[in-house]
Amino acid sequence: MNSGSNAAGPSVAELQDLARRGRAHVIRSIAHAKGGHIGGPLSAMDMLVALYFKAMRIRPDEPDWPDRDRFVLSKGHSAIALYTVLAMRGYFPLEELNTFDAIDSRMQGHPDMTITPGVDMSSGSLGLGFSGSLGIALGARAAGKDFDTYVILGDGECNEGIVWEAAHVAQRYAVDNLVAIIDHNKLQQFGWRADAPGKRKPPYTGSQLVDRWTAFGWKVMEMDGHDMAQILPTIEEARDYRGGPVAIVAHTVKGKGVSFMENDYTWHARVPTPEERDLALAELGEPVSTTAAGGAA
Amino acid sequence: MTLANGKALRVAFGETVAELGKTDPRIVVLDGDLGSSTRADIFEAAHPDRFFQMGIGEQNEFGVAAGMASVGLVPFVSTFACFAVARALDSVRVLIAQPKLNVKITGGYAGLLAGMTGKTHLIFDDIAIMRAMGNMVVVAPADEVETRQAIVAIVDYEGPVYLRLTREASPLLFDDSYRFTLGKAVTVRPGGDVTVFGTGTQTVRAFQAAELLAAEGIEVNLVHLPTVKPIDEEAIVAAAQATGLVVTTEEHTIIGGLGGAVAEVLGERYPVPLRRHGLADTFGESGPDAALLEKYGISVTKTAAAIRAFVRARRT
């Protein structure tokens, strides 16, 4: 494994501010595109910022650098969060977020490795990205490369059988150049009916997710997926762990950062009205604007 | 003319990838717990560090191959064709075909003759399914010689390939002078009465059928199409122009396979009377090979009968 963490990079406070701005880009992008997912991108934002601005060894001006760390967004429907962070990191102009879901755009609804700079693996059919990330990690070993691979899965995504096929194989091969982060926001698109009106049950309750990954032979860590001061050292410790694969169960809030979206399953893929958009931007401390990158259309 | 015996295509596969692996460190083999059947075990014995056992989990097996290809390796993914094509289809589509990753899908035990396994393991709509998939190249070799050369050719080709392999030993249609070219047809036997297009090991039975028919005065122009996608349109049109009658024959259903591919080309470019010969719209069953070939209508005699009936109907 490499020790490529960007020690001289941004401070915790700066990373927190990047995540705040990233959330605003997500809100504006979805409102501008009048489509896309929103709750999941908001829950994953802090971890994406931590990876791309601190943890990962990358060259934004050389997206195909062979020795770069790899990242796979296995919960591919949160693509807008990845595009936002890639744009803020300099892979392409922020203005390109305005083309999200548009015809001929590099900002496809789900990540496409063939057209978007910085996207290391296509994903979208849930579970497949995780399997691909295992292939990258095993392939790196076979090819004698020292880069690390990071993957973010959704908690609902862990319903997929392929996740556990891959988890089993990763343990068999003691893959220790792969860090899986599970965005445990406790809601999936629809899920199981809960007793309370308007509520849905979480895909996994209590320690079920931790127990499952542990049972598959993974070292499991937990963190608050919104606390930058926890995210950074947890990812670093997971990266440096030897002897087997590591899963970080990140406790998160779906719709994090916008009060009326938090913990509400209906915001999985709902488009904010102009009023809701402006309200959300105000909560995030961002000026009202009608475009994804900020400013007027 | 009696054809010499060749090795089974699966053995040719294992031996050839093991041989290529000696000089090409990019080659890795992934197995879905069937290596002793598919003969991926030959590669494991030669290159244990580049053999990856994925266990019984084909969806993940193909996803892992995609990740490996993305870092520059050339993965051969080995399992039974039924699992490669049907069970792992989403992984193949989203992670291999769509990004056009350099993964070689080797579907063993394809077709009707799969060692008494029955309908769950017999697959003969695989060419149709893989041919319809964007970016996918489809190759169905006829014998050991062609299998070895096809494997060399698909390593030279950058992109996803479905290589259709069969279980049983197959007579040798080709000798060492044969040269396989990806995307090209090859005339196996000239004849003026009817063109028969074959693919895979069915071309061998078509050749034997053509020998029977020659004794009756029907001269078959036998054209082998080992690459079903991209199909050799010019060769198909030229052969149709030369004989005016066309039969396709395959160890596959007549829906969407070689027959479909040839009919698409000729329908648009040079319509001639055409008969698609192969398996009906059905599933298979257990049974000895000879009985299966006979019952499902693709034995040498049944193939000859289909060609004979078609030609005679056109002559009267």
pLDDT tens for chain A, 297 residues: list them: 444 444 578 999 999 999 999 999 999 999 999 999 999 999 999 999 999 999 999 999 999 999 999 999 999 999 999 999 999 999 999 999 999 999 999 999 999 999 999 999 999 999 999 999 999 999 999 999 999 999 999 999 999 999 999 999 999 999 999 999 999 999 999 999 999 998 999 999 999 999 999 999 999 999 999 999 999 999 999 999 999 999 999 999 999 999 999 999 999 999 999 999 999 999 999 988 888 777 665
Domain ranges of chain B: 9-164, 186-315
The answer to whether the Cβ–Cβ distance between A113 and B55 falls below 8 Å is no
CB atoms within 10 A of CB B291: 12
Q: Which of B59, B65, B68 sits opposite A165 (nearest CB)?
A: B59
Distance from CA of B102 to the nearest CA of A (A): 13
pLDDT of the residue at A296: 60
Asked whether the domain spanning B186-315 has the same topology as the one spanning B9-164, the reply is yes
The answer to whether B302 touches B293, Cβ cutoff 8 Å, is: yes
**Domain assignment of residue A75, yes or no:** yes
Residue of A nearest to B101 (CA): A114
User: What per-residue string of b and e applies to B144-167 under the rule 16 or more CB within 10 Å gives b?
Assistant: bbbbbbbbebbbeeebbbbbbbbb
Asked if A169 and B95 come within 8 Å (Cβ–Cβ), the reply is no
Determine contact, residues A177/A43, Cβ cutoff 8 Å. no
Q: According to the model, what pLDDT value does residue A297 have?
A: 53
Query: CATH for B9-164, among 3.40.50.980, 3.10.580.10, 3.40.50.970, 3.40.50.720?
Result: 3.40.50.970
CB within 8 Å: A161 and B50: no
A173 chain-B contacts, CB cut-off 8 A = 52
> What Cα–Cα distance (Å) separates residue A276 from each residue in A281, B36, B281?
9, 61, 55
Give the amino acid at B168.
E
Chain A positions in Cβ-Cβ contact with residue B73 (cut-off 8 Å): 139, 142-143
Which pair of structure tokens corresponds to residue B197?
């297009």
Residues of chain B with pLDDT under 70: 1, 316
C-alpha B179/C-alpha B146 separation (Å) is 8
Cβ of residue A244 closer than 8 Å to a chain B Cβ: no
Min Cα separation B123/chain A (Å):
23
Helix (H, G, I), strand (E, B) or coil at B87: helix
ipTM above 0.85, yes or no: yes
Mutation target for A interface from B49, B70, B93: give the one with most A CBs within 10 A.
B70
C-alpha span between A50 and A19 (Å, rounded): 9
Please identify among residues 88-117 of chain B the ones whose CB lies closer than 8 Å to any CB of chain A. 90-91, 94-95, 98-100
Question: Quick check: A64 contacting B, CB < 8 Å?
Answer: no
If you search the block for the tokens 């047809």, which residue do you land on?
B185
Residue B71 to chain A, least CA–CA distance (Å): 6
Which domain does A123 fall in, by range? 12-283
Task: List phi, psi (to 5°) of A85.
Answer: -70, -40
Residue A62 has phi, psi (to 5 degrees) of: -140, 70
Question: What pLDDT is stored for residue A291 in this prediction?
Answer: 81
The answer to whether position A71 is within a domain reads yes
Give me the CATH number covering residue A43: 3.40.50.970
User: Domain B186-315: which CATH class?
Assistant: alpha beta
Chain B touched by A165 (CB under 8 Å): yes
In a domain, A155, yes or no: yes
* Half-sphere exposure of residue A241: CA atoms within 13 angstroms, side-chain side: 23
Q: What are phi and psi of B227, to 5 degrees?
A: -100, 110
Residues B24/B72, Cβ–Cβ less than 8 Å: no
Which tokens in the block code for residue B126?
A: 């695989």
Q: Does a structural domain hold residue A129?
A: yes
A294 Ramachandran zone, left/alpha/beta (phi>0; psi -120 to 50):
left
- The Cα A80–Cα B17 span in angstroms is 41
Q: Are B72 and A66 an interchain contact pair (Cβ–Cβ within 8 Å)?
A: yes
pLDDT for res B102: 98
Beta strands in A58-186, from DSSP E residues, in sequence order:
70-73, 149-154, 178-184
Closest alpha carbon to B228 in B208, B249, B242, B204: B249
> Using CB atoms, which residue from B53, B69, B91 is nearest to A131?
B91
DSSP assignment letter at B227: E
C-alpha to C-alpha distance for B189 and A238, rounded to whole angstroms: 64
Q: Is residue A294 part of a domain?
A: no
Find all residues with CB under 8 Å of A228, minimum gap 6, and list them. A12, A15, A16, A19, A46, A49, A50
Residues of A in Cβ contact (< 8 Å) with B158? none
- All residues of chain B having their beta carbon less than 8 Å from the beta carbon of residue A125 are 90, 94
Inter-chain touch B57–A127, beta carbons under 8 Å: no
Q: How far apart are the first and last CA of chain A?
A: 45
Distance CA B197, CA B259 (A): 8
CB B300 within 8 A of CB B209: yes
Is the CB of residue A112 less than 8 Å away from at least one CB of chain B? yes
Among candidate residues B245, B193, B258, the one with its CA nearest the CA of residue B220: B193
- The answer to whether the Cβ–Cβ distance between B57 and A134 falls below 8 Å is no
How many structural domains is chain A composed of?
1
